[in-house]
Every structure is written in structure tokens, then in C-alpha cells.
Amino acid sequence: MEVSTLFSLSGRKALVTGASRGIGQAIAAALASAGADVAITAREASALEETCGQITQLGRQVVPLSLDVRDISACAEAVAAADERLGGLDILVNNAGYEEIRPSVHVDEALWDRIVSTNLKGAFFCAQAAARQMSAAGRAGAIINLCSLTSYVGVPTAVPYGSSKSGLLGMTRALAAEWAPLDIRVNAIAPGYFRTAMTDVFYEDKEWQEAMLTKIPQRRFGAMEDVAGAVVFLASGASAYVTGHCIPVDGGYLASI
């Protein structure tokens, strides 16, 4: 088989949560560029206009959906809507996430619940709904979760976030083992240091930037296109025998510590 065929997503149908900007937007565009039709979500569907335009320009079908992943019933409804409007579902990317930096002694229940419900609980119930849809239709599936460097290392003042992303890594492995007989693969990527609206507070500090760059072997922060290859690989037939793994996209950060 030709390598280009292995990586092609022609005829595939994908759902990407949290796709209004940043990494989620880049992932949705990458999947469309590889040939997939894509349903995309944000808390407000109106925020998806730019991403819709990118996918349309690539000649693929796009379905914008409103979804707050903390609402479990809404997760199932969004998956069902994506399946119905796209004519099936083969790929789910759990990208929707939330982070807020706060010293742990000042973390309250509301913040803990918001972060963990968004990053972990929401991802699980989207995956559950997608797996049900895929298995009922007899379709092979690929589920990709967005983990983090905090899935591996402790980061002060980010304990709820790190806890949710560590849990997401464990969930990825467990679901991969359970759903392999259903021909549903579950993998993850762990982006390193990327400047997004959610992480912009760090990058406003020039001293932090300089200190962090010394810890990244490639001596640069991630660019949005850096996630494209990893996601397309995990969504495509090129990774047909890969499940239960997380690929760090971090410029060598984890390898160097």
C-alpha cells in the first residue's frame, strides 16, 4: 500500500470538540486537509465561524455544533448530531479543555469541578457516546484525547489541571484495552508548550519564556501546525496497530528531563 493512502482520511467522518481556536482549530483543519468531513464544537456555535471557513476552503463538509462538554446528555446529543449530519462517525478528538492557575491552598470545589468535568469527565462521556455510535454501525474508530505535559510531570499551581490530564492518560490506556475488540483505537497526544488563549498568561512573562526555552531541546515553542502530523497519523490507517499510547509533541522536553 502506498504511504499516501495510509495517511489519507478520504471518506472519513470526524468530530473535534473545542475547535473554535488554537490547537482544536488546527486539528480540525488538519483532518479536513487529509480528506475528512468534520463536525466541530464550541460552547457557542457562533465562535466556530473562522474554523468553518477554513474547512470549507479545503473542500470538506463542516458541521458546527454548540456543546458544553460538562453537560453529559449534551455530549451524547452532539455525537448523535455529528453522526447523522455527516453520515457516520469514524474519528473523535477530545480537545475541549479548561485551565486556571491557582495555588493549591486556594483551590475551591467550584474550580476543581469545572476543570475536571471539562477535561476528564466530558472527554469520557464523549468517547463513550462515540464508541456506542461506532460499534452500533460496525465502523472501525479512532479516538484521540488531548493530554498534556502535566499528564507526566507536576506543575505547581496547576494541580486540578494536572490531575485531570493525568486521569485522561489513564483513561486513554484503559479504554484502548477495553475497546480494541470493537476495532476502536484510543490514543492521545500531549502538546508541549504552545501559546494559546488559555495559556497566554504564561507567555506574557518574558523571563518565563526565556527560562522555559532553555528546557526545550529544540529551543522553540510549539506552532499550531506541529500537532497536525501526529493527529492525522493517529486518526489514519497508518496507525492501525497503535492503541493505548500518547505521543508527546513537545520539542523534546520530556525526553530531556
Question: Residues 28, 50: contact at Cβ < 8 Å?
Answer: no
Does the pTM surpass 0.85? The reply is: yes
Torsion region of 148: left, alpha or beta (phi above 0 gives left; psi -120 to 50 gives alpha): beta
Mean pLDDT, residues 121-138 taken together: 98
Q: Which domains does the chain have, with CATH numbers?
A: 3-256 (3.40.50.720)
Q: How far apart are the first and last CA of the chain?
A: 38
The pLDDT > 70 percentage for the chain reads: 100
For residue 191, the model assigns a pLDDT of 97
By annotation, the residues acting in catalysis are 161
pLDDT tens digits along 97-110: 999 999 999 999 99
Using the structure block, give the residue that is written with the C-alpha cell 482544536.
24
Q: For 199, which DSSP code?
A: T
pLDDT tens digits along 130-175: 999 999 999 999 999 999 999 999 999 999 999 999 999 999 999 9
Using the structure block, give the residue that is written with the C-alpha cell 493527529.
231
Question: Residues 251, 194: contact at Cβ < 8 Å?
Answer: no
